[in-house]
Amino acid sequence: MEKTYKVFVYGTLREHEFNHHFLNGAVCLARQCWTHGILFDTGLGYPAMITDKVNVIYGELYEVNEIILKKLDWLESFTKQKESITNTNG
């Protein structure tokens, strides 16, 4: 059985946004959902999120396989070494 991952998207990966094509083949679990956090402007053309116990961020939830996850990691410049430092999702 193929391993899958749940990914919450809130920016350019949302439906009708310009990076949504990276989710081709993913299963949309929820078009309207939320998580606790705050978005801020990185100054690099995309938002970043930090967790927060009070505020909420609205987005979409997808189930992705390892191939799609690797594409998302590439898009986000995510590496395992950075995992404990930052993990943004545009």
Q: What is the pTM of this model?
A: 0.78
Q: Are strands 4-9 and 27-36 parallel, antiparallel or unpaired?
A: unpaired
Q: Which of 9, 1, 5, 55 is nearest to 30 (CA)?
A: 9
Q: What is the pLDDT of residues 8-36, one digit of tens each?
A: 999 889 999 999 999 999 999 999 999 99
pLDDT reading at 84 higher than 50: no
The answer as to whether 42 is a domain residue is: yes
The answer as to whether 90 is a domain residue is: no
CATH code, domain carrying 47: 3.10.490.10
The answer as to whether 88 is a domain residue is: no
Instruction: Count Cβ atoms within 10 A of the Cβ of residue 38 and give its class: 0-12 exposed, 13-18 middle, 19 or more buried.
Output: middle
Is residue 85 very low, low, confident or very high in pLDDT (cuts 50, 70, 90)? very low
> Quick check: is 83 catalytic?
no
Q: What is the pLDDT of residues 53-80, one digit of tens each?
A: 999 999 999 999 999 999 999 988 776 6
Residue of 17, 60, 63, 76 with catalytic role: 76
Can you give the residue range of the structural domain that contains 58? 4-82
The answer as to whether 15 is a domain residue is: yes
In the chain, how many domains are there? 1
The answer as to whether 47 is a domain residue is: yes
Q: 30 is written with which tokens? A: 């929820």
How far apart are the two ends of the chain, measured CA to CA in Å? 28
What pLDDT, on a 0 to 100 scale, did the predictor assign at position 11?
85
